[in-house]
Amino acid sequence: MVDGDVTSESSTESAESTVTAEDAIATTESYETDGGWVLFDGENPLAWIQSAVTVRLDDAT
């Protein structure tokens, strides 16, 4: 169901999102395990990702 109170982001909010993404990348830490690499937020170590594929971070930005 569509929420009529939700509006799309303005260009200002999009710019803020970009800054947030840059901050997130800067605080990302990692460690290697037997099964691969774990990426996590250094400021919130419980925020981590698991992936079945490898993506170069340079290619993701």
Residue 45 in this model has a pLDDT that exceeds 80: yes
Is residue 57 in a domain?
A: yes
> Which range marks the domain in which residue 58 is found?
29-61
Is residue 8 in a domain?
A: no
- Which of these ranges, 3-12, 29-38, 46-55, has the smallest mean pLDDT? 3-12
Residue 47 in this model has a pLDDT that exceeds 70: yes
Is residue 41 in a domain?
A: yes
22 phi and psi, to 5 degrees? Answer: -65, -40
Q: Give pLDDT, residue 3.
A: 54
CB-based contacts of 47, cutoff 8 Å, min separation 6 = 40, 41
Is residue 15 in a domain?
A: no
Is residue 34 in a domain?
A: yes
* pLDDT tens digits, 11-43: 555 555 565 778 878 888 998 888 888 888 898
Per-residue pLDDT band for 6 (boundaries 50, 70, 90) equals low
Helices (H) and strands (E) in the chain, counts: 2, 3
Is residue 35 in a domain?
A: yes
Query: How far is Cα 15 from Cα 59, in angstroms, rounded to an integer?
Result: 20
Is residue 1 in a domain?
A: no
Q: How many domains does the chain have?
A: 1
Is residue 36 in a domain?
A: yes
